[in-house]
Amino acid sequence: NAGVTQTPKFQVLKTGQSMTLQCAQDMNHNSMYWYRQDPGMGLRLIYYSASEGTTDKGEVPNGYNVSRLNKREFSLRLESAAPSQTSVYFCASSELGSTGTDTQYFGPGTRLTVL
Amino acid sequence: ILNVEQSPQSLHVQEGDSTNFTCSFPSSNFYALHWYRWETAKSPEALFVMTLNGDEKKKGRISATLNTKEGYSYLYIKGSQPEDSATYLCAPLTSGGSYIPTFGRGTSLIVHP
């Protein structure tokens, strides 16, 4: 099992460019999440998908869109990148999600720099 | 969004020292609390999930306690080793919401040989 995979690992964008971060899990988990991690801050939730076919905003959704393509895949799109979106992005998944006691399994992260 | 405080922000100890750090959170509507360990250049990994007041969990030299009435959890590491160097994140959640935990900023532990 690969667990949670993310592509790309690194990306540099210019202001205004768009890109999609890909995430896939092979654990048959129902719930998937996108977080960003900035220096001195905790992991902040951008969007989540409690189950296939649903998505909801988290704490910091502005400037992002998501797609739950199927049960395995959850992508994060930046339509017009801004320097404030320079961050490390983590995708995570959990088996059920809605119980609150589920463990989240994290991907390796994508380090994004917006110039 | 829960107000989650972790202290201290960072901690340097010598190999063999025992140490502890704190996670504080609002006690009202408490539902569960997760502890994660995050090593540099890796991804966060789950340590414990705790739900009941007075809960104690243990994994090797690492243990955690929970006080839901006063809104805090302690993480203890006995006889710290260099491989314990990591950032330790707590993530509580309350009932009635999305049942997704809110992560604290973490305590960075560095264990010197």
pLDDT score at A71: 95
pLDDT beyond 90 at A24: yes
Q: How many CB atoms lie within 10 A of CB B106?
A: 25
Contacts of A105 (CB under 8 A, 6+ apart): A3, A4, A25, A27, A29, A92, A93, A94, B46
- How close A92 gets to chain B, by Cα (Å)? 10
Residues of A in contact with B55 (CB under 8 A): none
Section B43-62 average pLDDT: 94
Residues of A in contact with B46 (CB under 8 A): 103-105
Instruction: Return the SS3 of A41.
Output: coil
- How close A25 gets to chain B, by Cα (Å)? 14
A68 CB-contact burial (10 Å; exposed 0-12 / middle 13-18 / buried 19+): buried
- In tens, the pLDDT along B17-40 reads 999 999 999 988 899 999 999 999
Q: Hey, are the CB atoms on A108 and B43 less than 8 Å from each other?
A: yes
Is some CB atom of chain A closer than 8 A to the CB atom of B43? yes
Q: What are phi and psi of B52, to 5 degrees?
A: -105, 145
Is some CB atom of chain B closer than 8 A to the CB atom of A106? yes
pLDDT score at A96: 80
Give which of A23, A101, A105, A110 to mutate to test B binding, by max B Cβ within 10 Å: A101
Mean pLDDT rounded to a whole number for chain A = 94
pLDDT beyond 80 at A99: no
Give which of B29, B99, B102, B105 to mutate to test A binding, by max A Cβ within 10 Å: B99
